[in-house]
Amino acid sequence: MKRLILLDALRGFALLGIALANYPEFTLYSFLSDEEQSLMATADADSITRWAQLILVDGKFYTIFSILFGIGFSIILENSLAKGRNGMAVFYRRMLILVAIGLAHLLFLWSGDILLLYALMGMVLPLFRSCTTRKLLQWAIAFLILPVVCDTAISITGIDPATVPYDAWWSTATAYGITETNFASWLRDASSYNDVHAFLMQGAWERMWEFVSSHRYFKVLGLFLIGYAIGKSKLQTAVNQHKATLLKVASFGFAIGLPLSAAYAWSAVYSHPMGDIPHSILYAFSVYPLGIAYIAAFALLLDKCPKSILWKCLSFPGRMSLTCYLSQSIIGMLLFYGIGFGLGLSFGLWQTELIAIGIFTIEIAFSAIWLRHCQYGPFEWVWRMLTYSKVLPLKKNN
């Protein structure tokens, strides 16, 4: 089946946003206290950057990436069935391999991994394969609203399941000698990979706490279902026929998402002054509409200017999204941890975002050169071979 440049370019766009969201942790800026951040020479520019990041980036690009995953599921299943294979067996094998990749990434490279959760939630998707598009969207809305319900229940009952991974997080950190005092500088000062691995062990529990406290599993599943509905209706292959609908989606998403994202940013900057439940509501009604508006606007722009070099540039890393995602972690470790160049805590937030853009630009160039000679990215190639249990040629037959 012919690749769709829309999906590849959107993945590239999402990878850029993910780098912008994740690199403040790689540079260790996010680990500094508010007071420490305010004392940096870049504090004024960082404050503006933080507001821009919260309004335009935070949550929006993982929304795009999650929806694309759901679209990908529909394509994988369709292709498998068309070629006479057992679509479900292929899909579950693919997810199990992604579980292994995600675990390895989480435990040995970076605590902010999302692949493990994607794989686990992806395994739930086949339960919805007989649903109509309308029913899929109804389920999606229900799952996206469920975190607000959960936060309300926690507020009323006082029973918070996130307490378990939180206690495990700090118990593990304490066992390795990681404290609030040395937390920000630990990775910068790491003299060996053993020091890094110690941080990753406690970081894995921190990541579990983040997933449970934010109810991320419900959010991811809801976004997967939106993507599955799009893929099932084949909207991604008929943008020209649905321009009016996409324009309405983009207009509504920006009209609702931008002002509410500004309110969400205010709530985040000032530590939820209205409380956790209003903050959760602001997240739901700002992040998803704006993220979906990005997708709709992107599709309309590509349809209007299909020959723009921008789409081709974004499509290169988009075709190698797994490789580029993992590479961002490897590059971050080498640049900012003590086992590499030890540059952590040397940059303000605005400088960090420029670094992220620079690294993504390098990924565009690398991906373009690689794909000139090869059919798949290196990690995509391995993942594909393991999925289909056979050796596949990597190089193109030019």
Give the count of domains, the chain.
Answer: 1
Q: Map residue 395 onto helix, strand or coil.
A: strand
C-beta separation of 383 from 93 below 8 A: no
In a domain, 396, yes or no: no
Residues listed for the chain? 398
Model pTM? 0.95
In a domain, 397, yes or no: no
In a domain, 94, yes or no: yes
- Listed in sequence order, the residues at least 6 apart from 20 whose beta carbon sits closer than 8 Å to its beta carbon are 53, 57, 61, 353, 356, 357
Residue (of 312, 290, 318) closest to 11 by Cα position? 318
In tens, the pLDDT along 318-342 reads 999 999 999 999 999 999 999 999 9
Quote the pLDDT of residue 155.
93
In a domain, 394, yes or no: no
In tens, the pLDDT along 170-192 reads 999 999 999 999 999 999 999 99
C-beta separation of 47 from 55 below 8 A: no
In tens, the pLDDT along 33-75 reads 999 999 999 999 999 999 999 999 999 999 999 999 999 888 8
Residue 333: C-alpha distances to residues 6, 23, 188, 341 (Å): 31, 10, 10, 9
For 52, list phi and psi in degrees, rounded to 5: -65, -40
Instruction: Compute the C-alpha angle 44/48/52, nearest 5°.
Output: 160
* CA–CA separation, 54 and 187 (whole Å): 25
Region of poorest pLDDT, from 38-47, 124-133, 250-259, 315-324: 124-133
Residue (of 274, 240, 183, 228) closest to 67 by Cα position? 228
In tens, the pLDDT along 274-301 reads 999 999 999 999 999 999 999 999 999 9
Average pLDDT for 7-18: 97
Across all residues in the chain, what is the average pLDDT? 94
pLDDT higher than threshold 50 for residue 1: no
Quote the pLDDT of residue 83.
67
More reliable by pLDDT, 389 or 104: 104
C-beta separation of 183 from 31 below 8 A: yes
Q: How confident is the model at residue 237 (pLDDT cuts 50, 70, 90)?
A: confident
In a domain, 125, yes or no: yes
218 alpha carbon, distance to own chain's centre: 15
In a domain, 346, yes or no: yes
Give the residue numbers spanning the domain of 348. 5-388
In a domain, 309, yes or no: yes
Q: Which two tokens stand for residue 56?
A: 């335009």
Q: How confident is the model at residue 98 (pLDDT cuts 50, 70, 90)?
A: very high
Q: How confident is the model at residue 88 (pLDDT cuts 50, 70, 90)?
A: confident
- Helical H segments across the chain, by residue range: 5-26, 34-38, 43-56, 60-82, 87-108, 115-122, 133-157, 163-175, 193-214, 216-233, 243-269, 276-304, 309-319, 321-336, 349-373, 378-388
User: What percentage of the chain reaches a pLDDT higher than 70?
Assistant: 98
| Ramachandran area for residue 174 (φ above 0: left; ψ -120 to 50: alpha; else beta) | alpha
pLDDT higher than threshold 50 for residue 27: yes
pLDDT higher than threshold 80 for residue 87: no
In a domain, 305, yes or no: yes
